[in-house]
Structure 1
Amino acid sequence: MKHEDVITLPQLAAKVPQLVSGLPGLVKGLRIGNTTDKTRAVGLGRCLERCRASNPEGPAVVFEGREISYEAFSRWSNRIANFLHASGIRKGDAVVVMMENRPELLAVIAGCAKIGAVSALVNTAQRGKVLAHSINLVAPKRAIVGEELVGAYNDIADAVSLSGEHCYYVPDTEVYRNGAEPPIDWQNLEHLITQCSETTPASVDEIRADDPCFYIYTSGTTGMPKAVVFNHGRFMKAYGSFGFAAVKLTARDRLYVCLPFYHATALAVCWGSVLAGNAALVMARRFSASNFWADIRRHNATGFGYVGELCRYLMEQPASPEDRRNKVRIMVGNGLRPSIWQPFKTRFGVARVMEFYASSEGNIGFTNLLNFNNTVGLCPFPYAIVKYDREQEAPLRDQRGRMIRVARGEAGLLIGQITAKTPFHGYTDQQKTQGSVLRDVFEPGDQWFNSGDLMRDIGFKHAQFVDRLGDTFRWKGENVSTTEVEQIADGCAHVSESVVYGVEIPGTNGRAGMASIRLDCDLDAFDFEQLLQSLRQQLPAYAVPVFLRISKDVEKTGTFKHKKAPLKAQGYDLAKVADPVFVWLPGTQTYCRLDQTRQQEIDRGQHRF
């Protein structure tokens, strides 16, 4: 860890005026997000109605030339809510929602929320068995599918439990522009709601903190998704803590979001912040690195949401005199790597990076309230960072059987205490829920959520993300952090992007490092000897990747996270990998091209790694 990442007392003292000025918002946000009063009416629907009352003619959603006011958006979502209720949908019923980013998606989600129905937000990239699994997992009563995804649904319709009369499609202008015909045997939701009441349903005031709001899907190690319960209380936490304490937008602000709304970063953090400030949500159908800043300028955006590698892709675009010609004063998201943190702020003139840490299923979160660099910020809820034994894959315990907190500057497993204010609602699968709970951590009978993430305590209640435990591997008797190796590799000449993972070599213990890298030059012009020299200078020998896979692109999730499972499964097997593969053989000073002969030698143990 870099020395400057540990926060010193003078650095903290310099932030005191900012902390003091932000206290009223912090207190208000915590009060709004308090979910211990189970009788209080809360929820997404009430948040929308507050915006309608205080800023009726202000823009709620801006999208591809359309600008929808809070008054119009509320009436629209009410028609959907009243239609669904009249069709038999009741509080707690699941409604599958499959739609790309567009205002109709938010209107459907809002309509469901107002009657207590649960939007099951399926990843729009899912197909086949995985899609059928995701739908059946929540036992839905209805499916609302964007016209752009009707084909994907039709492919698995026979494998799900819903009948045709319970499936509705939502027209899509982009589909029409491409000359497609409306889907056959589907009911048009926009037609069905035409005559429905625009009055806000009374059920808006009957929603409580523990009532489910969304099902958000996370991928398991097997590739089959898990449905995380995201209730209205958790939405209120995001609405309060981000909206009032951290991001603090106003009705004059416009937050640009090109992240998929089937994930919590866009749905809860970004939208929640917009609603708290009566601001405008500028919605983009998808991310485009080449059009991003032009879109920001076109819509006069004052902030944007980010996640994963989005910022890296923006940094890879050619520098332009236009880079700083924008009105952005804040960016909110997670996953900004330390290697580009300050360069990004400098190049694009962004003053505040509201980095945060949270997970769809987790019970705590961190927010960079004080705008330090290279940190996920601080957490107002009870948490601990404890020593972790990677070899045993379990937290360390002392002689009394209690876990051990790390010292400042050290990394360990992040855990969040499960309390009335920080409950863990878990998954639809109770076995998975119980497997995520640690017991008797510091006191007999206490319960803590296991985040599965390694964090570093950098002082004064601030933490720094280090690695995901699933992204580490053991080689030469040592633990290798893929995140740390990726950061070094990404800094090497002509390496645009890297993904590091462990692969098995017959006859060896552990897993050897392999990196899938994307180059910004021709393969013939790349200096493999220089790359190896750079890696060996900056990494311990056991952490230097043994294999390289030269890829034109790296497969990612909808939130720009790397998909490592397929890469691990293919390993260095040339029968499975179409990309060029290189290997660092023992005793050599460069990477050489792997061919069938060398692969057979490695598999037979002729090279002593």
Structure 2
Amino acid sequence: MSDTITWGMMLRKLPSIANAIPRLVKGMKVANVKDPTQTCGLGWSFEQATLRNPDGPALLQGEVVLTYSQVNQWANRMAHHLIAQGIGKGDVVAVFIENRPELLVTILAVAKVGAISALLNTAQTRDTLAHSLNLVAPAAIVVGEELVPTFSAVRERVAIEATRTWFIADQNTCKPPGIAPDGFINLMTACADGCADNPASSRQVFFDDPCFYLYTSGTTGLPKAGVFKHGRWMRSYVSFGMIALDMRPEDVIYCTLPLYHATGLCVCWGSAISGACGFAIRRKFSASQFWSDVRHYRATTIGYVGELCRYLVDQPPGAHDSQHGVKKMIGNGLRPGAWGEFKRRFGVNHICELYAASDGNIGFSNILNFDNTVGFSLMSWELAAYDHDSGAPTRDATGFMRKVAKGEEGLLLAKIDDKAPLDGYTDPQKTETVVLHDVFKKGDRYFNTGDLLRNIGFGHARFVDRLGDTYRWKGENVSTTEVENTLLKHPTISEAVAYGVEIENTNGRAGMAAITPAESLATLDFSELLAFARQQLPAYAVPLFLRVKVKMETTGTFKYQKTRLKDEAFDPGKTGDDPIYAWLPGTDTYVRVTEQLLAQIQGGKYRY
């Protein structure tokens, strides 16, 4: 795997570059809305797609196929009802529905009103759910039948009027069915006879108006609500759908990602709307049914996150693995070790890896189809030197930050300006914590992404690690991504999560990895596994501790729960049924950690 992009590699891409330039020029014109009185955003873009392809499939799930005209009219009826109930521009409507067409129709209707959808994580319950709701003070909520018990458990802790607590049944909702539970109003019944014309409010939405509140996953504490404005929707749906993927009405995107997060909602659905093409969804990801669904929907494009791809690769090989119509895929987090294998086995030509964050102002995309890169960005960015202990960018004697050299890893900083404004969080104080001032010259401002990238040439970058996931041991910086990729090469390991843990009376953080065996604990040869790690990794990066898990806990977007793993560390009293193993100094294997051995390690008996 080459670490840099060379002139030769770029020359081979000249046809791709030539094909991309017209899309790039057109896309930049559409995306960079500057006139504060120019209509734009989700509602407007869907209405434009409807004009382009009124009878083409817009939303598909199972045997349900809804055309652009049907979805647009359905959303219009709902929008007119919301307006009649007093919901107006800037009001917050919480949306709590699993992946199904009704979720997207509701979001579209709220956008047409000019209101803001607070997209609740459907896995949240109790205190976390109550926190997420109260954080944005919603004027109303729309709850899917499948989540009524979850919402009802926190209802008394949230101030939403019963007249604006709407219910959507879980079956046959294209027609107004069923009776809502006590305390809920059936939204489909209420809006069934409403006006199907585009509401006037959808033409009064502008680039600086908020479209969604998207919550952080909460892996490092209670969720924060990031603001996603309509201007950013324009940049996202054009950048990925038009420029990166060149979506057309004959395309179909298949997405199993949760639609309360930006990759599924903004990147994948936005790309479908950009191409006025079909968007096929599933309630929850299924590795065994994935390619069957792809063939059923005749999908040409798939949305992914890295772990989803690994689950697919881990499925038993089949004769039909490459017998489908998918030529393109878009998402993030595909590991270099799986990149080539995925392409070869499943026959996907273009992996459009991207880098973006729902709370940031920058996006990269792999438009030119190089391997193992997040591509390039049209926004202004720099990689800055940082302090390996604190994670903060460092300043020199002049008070400004230093840009790292090409090929060197650095902290990604994205310039905040008119072309790339920062929407931030609902809490201005939290927004200010990620803004850096006077960075490279007086008066400039940059968004601190907290991520480490490497410039590999020609404006392209490679993702290195989350800054919070790196740790320092024996005076060296350890990349958890590197450790995880190495462990996953071992045939007896199917999942690996690396992190740093503290040993009393030592400096830095020692390496630890939670691993899931490909078969069972009995198949792990700890002496051989240690020898493998020592051969593949620098000495300082070899994990000193292993935690064996039958199943790894993840968020809805397959992010591992590292905070909990770090907190429990290598204490068998905290890790439940998960056995812990330690590599003791001077030995050649991992041994089981008992309460007695834990006390000896923390008491300094072993010199690390």
Q: Same fold (TM over 0.5)?
A: yes
What's 1:590 paired with?
589
Shift of 1:397: 2.3
Is residue 2:41 matched to residue 1:43?
A: yes
Instruction: Name the SS of the counterpart of 1:346 in structure 2.
Output: helix
Q: CA deviation at 1:40?
A: 1.1
The letter of the residue matching 2:311 is Y
Measured against aligned partners, the alpha-carbon deviations of 1:350-399 in whole angstroms (never above 9, x if no partner) come to 00011110000111111101000000001111111111221242222232
Among 531, 535, 538, the residue aligned to 1:537: 535
Q: 222-231 or 166-175: which moved more?
A: 166-175
Q: CA shift at 1:434, angstroms? A: 0.8
- 1:608: which partner in 2? 607
Offset of residue 220 of structure 1: 4.9
Q: 1:184 deviation in Å?
A: 3.1
> In structure 2, what is the Cα distance between the partners aligned to 1:394 and 1:223?
20
Aligned residue in 2 for 1:396: 394
**Aligned ranges 1:385-534 → 2 under 5 Å:** 385-534=383-532
SS, match of residue 67 in structure 1: strand
Q: Distance in 2 between matches of 1:358 and 1:174?
A: 36
Letter in 1 for 2:597: R
More divergent stretch after superposition (182-191 vs 518-527): 182-191
AA partner of residue 142 (structure 1): A
CA displacement at 1:182 relative to structure 2: 5.7
SS at match of 1:309: helix
Tell me by how many angstroms 1:17 deviates.
Answer: 1.5
Q: CA deviation at 1:481?
A: 1.3
CA distance in 2, matches of 1:101, 1:265: 14
Q: Conserved in 1, the CA contact under 8 Å of 2:219 and 2:561? A: no
Match of 2:228 in 1: 230
Please name the residue that 2:100 is paired with: 102
Aligned to 1:303: 301
Identity of aligned residues (%): 50
Tell me if the contact between 1:112 and 1:119 (Cα under 8 Å) persists in the aligned partners. Answer: yes
Deviation at 1:541, TM superposition (A): 1.8
Measured in 1, the distance between the counterparts of 2:113 and 2:218 equals 31
Measure, in 1, the Cα distance between the counterparts of 2:210 and 2:399: 36
| Residue segments in structure 2 that go unaligned for 5+ positions in a row | none
Between the aligned partners of 1:298 and 1:273, the Cα distance in structure 2 is 20
Q: Normalised by the size of structure 2, how large is the TM-score?
A: 0.97
In structure 1, the partner of 2:325 is 327
**Matched ranges for 1:273-312 at <5 A:** 273-312=271-310
Residue type of the partner of 2:589?
Answer: T
Question: How big is the shift at 1:600?
Answer: 2.0
The corresponding residue for 2:558 is 560
Cα contact 1:364–1:381 (8 A) shared by 2? yes
**Cα shift at 1:603:** 2.5
Cα distance in structure 1, aligned partners of 2:406 and 2:537: 23
Change over 3 Å in CA distance of 1:101–1:457 after alignment to 2: same
User: CA offset at residue 453 of structure 1?
Assistant: 0.4
Q: Distance in 1 between matches of 2:272 and 2:388?
A: 40
Q: Counterparts of 2:276 and 2:391 in 1: how far apart (Å)?
A: 46
Give per-residue Cα distances to partners, 1:71-118, cap 9 Å, x unaligned: 111110001101111000010000000111000000000000001010
Letter in 2 for 1:590: T
Quick check: 2:471–2:508 contact (8 Å CA) kept in 1? Answer: yes
1:269 is matched by which residue type in structure 2?
Answer: V
For 1:41 and 1:488, the matched residues in 2 are separated by: 50
Mean CA deviation greater in 51-60 or 369-378: 51-60
1:144-159 → structure 2 map (5 Å cutoff): 144-159=142-157
Q: In the alignment, is the contact (CA less than 8 A) between 1:96 and 1:140 conserved in 2?
A: yes
48-57 or 259-268: bigger deviation = 48-57
Cα distance between partner residues in 2 of 1:541 and 1:530: 16
Query: Aligned partners of 1:275 and 1:521: how far apart in 2?
Result: 42
Separation (CA, whole Å) in 2 of partners of 1:542 and 1:565: 22
1:346 deviation in Å? 0.6
> Is structure 2 residue 87 aligned with structure 1 residue 89?
yes
Are the counterparts in 2 of residues 308 and 559 from structure 1 also a CA contact under 8 Å? no
The total of aligned residue pairs comes to 603
Q: What corresponds to 2:572 in structure 1?
A: 574
User: 1:246 and 2:271 equivalent?
Assistant: no
Q: CA, structure 1 residues 392+73, in 2 after alignment: closer, same or farther (shift >3 Å)?
A: closer
Q: Report the CA distance between 1:127 and its aligned residue.
A: 0.6
Q: Which residue number corresponds to residue 72 of structure 2?
A: 74
* TM-score normalised by structure 1 residue count: 0.97
AA aligned to 1:329 is K
**Aligned-pair distance for 1:143?**
0.6
Which one-letter code corresponds to 2:598 in the other structure?
Q
8 Å CA contact 2:409, 2:454 repeated in 1 = yes
Q: Please state whether the residue corresponding to 2:216 is helix, strand or coil.
A: strand
Please state how far the C-alpha of 1:407 moved relative to its aligned partner.
Answer: 1.5
Q: Decide whether the 8 Å contact of 1:31 with 1:240 is kept in 2.
A: no
Task: Give deviations 1:466-517, integer Å, cap 9, x for gaps.
Answer: 0011111222232221111111111123111100111222222222211110
After superposing the two structures, state which structure 1 stretch, 50-59 or 320-329, moved more: 50-59
Question: Cα distance, 1:163 vs. partner?
Answer: 2.9
Partner SS, residue 354 of structure 1: strand
5 Å-filtered alignment, 1:156-175, equals: 156-173=154-171
CA contact (8 A) 2:391 2:468 kept: no
Please list the CA deviations of residues 139-164 of structure 1 after superposition, one character each: whole Å capped at 9, or x if unmatched.
10001011111111111111111132
Amino acid at match of 1:545: P
**Matched residue, 2:109:** 111
CA RMSD of aligned residues (A): 1.5
- Partner Cα separation in structure 2 for residue 76 and residue 326 of structure 1: 32
Preserved CA contact (<8 Å) 1:35 1:421: no
Letter in 1 for 2:273: L
Distance 1:541 1:174, change over 3 A: farther
Task: Rate the CA distance shift 1:247–1:470 in 2: closer, same or farther, 3 A.
Answer: same
Per the alignment, residue 24 of structure 1 pairs with 22
For the residues of structure 2 that align with 1:396 and 1:82, how far apart are their CA atoms?
53
2:154 partner SS = helix
Q: CA deviation at 1:222?
A: 4.4
**Residue 546 (structure 1) aligns with:** 544
C-alpha separation in 1, matches of 2:172 and 2:402: 55
**Shift, 1:588, TM fit:** 0.7
| Alpha-carbon spacing, 1:384–1:39, altered in 2? closer, same or farther (3 Å) | same
Deviation string for 1:13-62 (max 9, x for gaps)? 11112101111111111111103222211011111111221211111101
Partner residue, 2:128: 130
Partners of 1:197 and 1:39 in 2: how far apart? Answer: 26
Alignment of 1:260-271 (within 5 A): 260-271=258-269
Asked if the contact 2:208–2:231 (Cα under 8 Å) also holds between the matched residues in 1, the reply is: yes
Contact 1:96–1:121 at 8 Å: present in 2 too? Answer: yes
CA distance in 2, matches of 1:462, 1:68: 39
Letter in 2 for 1:604: G
Q: Aligned letter for 1:469?
A: L
State which drifts further: 541-550 or 332-341.
541-550
1:222 to 1:497, Cα distance in 2 relative to 1, 3 A = closer
> SS state of the match for residue 357, structure 2?
coil
Within 2, Cα distance between the matches of 1:295 and 1:182? Answer: 32
* Structure 1 segments (4+ residues) deviating >6 Å: none
Mapped partners of 1:475, 1:493: distance in 2: 27
C-alpha separation between the residues in 2 aligned to 1:308 and 1:430? 32
Secondary structure at the aligned position of 1:597 is classed as: helix
- Indicate the SS of the match to 1:321: coil
Most deviating of 210-219 and 517-526: 517-526
* TM superposition shift of 1:521: 2.2
